[in-house]
Amino acid sequence: MGVINVTPDSFSDGGVRFDPARAVEDGLRMMSEGADIIDVGGESTRPGADALDAEEELRRVVPVIEPLAAGGAIVSVDTYKAVVAREAVARGASIVNDVSGFLFDPDLPGVAAETGAAVVLMHNRGRSREMYREANYTDVADEVRRELEAAITRARAAGVRREAIIVDPGLGFAKRAEHSYEVLARLDVLRDLDRPILCGPSRKSFLTAAVGTKIPAEREWATAAAIAASVFFGAHIVRVHRVPEMVDVVKVADRIRAAAVDSPSA
């Protein structure tokens, strides 16, 4: 999953794709480089970010979603708003990637069910300005599993098909660095949910706990390690900013994981 942030304040790229034409060009290039899904977001959800109204979010994402979908991309819309999700799916998106796990907008589960879109339910606690106040855990991996199970229950109650659901442990969201590392290391606990797992460690600040202070664009080697670990521990989809390099990381990690499974001593 390649990331296209159509925002002026993206933590990862400083807003270089705020221009829709640049965003579309980069999304099409990501497809040619090996991205299977293009994730388009119009509102920054980094810690401390301000909320954006739905009208402005749509103004940003629709001119990017339409040509990408017309160009053959599987498009995911990164939104927690029902009105944005409905319009994005009508314009060609086929996945709704909700950072709230169906907690922020009570109308979103119904829209997902009605449109038939696939959904990514991400683990989170609290909105961007307050999420770290909620980063209190006794057993973070188990609590993430239980709260994602509750998100699946919310989705199913609204009529979302179980086979349309993907789960995301939400690395960096309402989690301090030590929490994100533990969740990643214990990603296998999410297998009990019997749903595909999406993991998105790319360029996130928790990586600096290991490699020291670096700007997001300088965290690619750290990202590569976290992407490899995601594959080893069971992720089915990885969300990345640099597609060609991470495609190579995934291919090698996949080979190693397959060799371990096929080994007579496994």
pLDDT digits (tens, 9 = 90+) for 218-242: 999 999 999 999 999 999 999 999 9
Position 124 pLDDT exceeds 70:
yes
Position 130 pLDDT exceeds 90:
no
Interacting residues of 138 by C-beta distance below 8 A, sequence separation 6+: none
Rg from Cα positions in the chain: 17
Task: Report the SS3 class of residue 188.
Answer: helix
Spatial strand order in the sheet of 75-78: 2-5, 38-41, 75-78, 95-98, 118-122, 165-168
Domains of the chain, start order: 2-262 (3.20.20.20)
CA 186 – CA 32 distance, rounded (Å): 33
- Count each helix (H run) and each strand (E run) in the chain, helices first: 9, 8
Q: Tell me, yes or no, if 156 is annotated catalytic.
A: no
Contact 187, 169 (CB under 8 A): yes
Q: Which of 127, 145, 175, 204 is catalytic?
A: 204
Q: pTM to 2 decimals?
A: 0.93
Q: Give me the mean pLDDT over the 46-68 stretch.
A: 89
Per residue, what are the HEC states of 125-155? CCCCCCHHHHCCCCCHHHHHHHHHHHHHHHH
Q: Which of 239, 242, 251, 255 is catalytic?
A: 239
pLDDT digits (tens, 9 = 90+) for 169-225: 999 999 999 999 999 999 999 999 999 999 999 999 999 999 999 999 999 999 999
CA nearest neighbour of 35 among 11, 3, 69, 71? 3
- Give 15's DSSP letter: T
Q: Tell me, yes or no, if 204 is annotated catalytic.
A: yes
- Give 264's DSSP letter: T
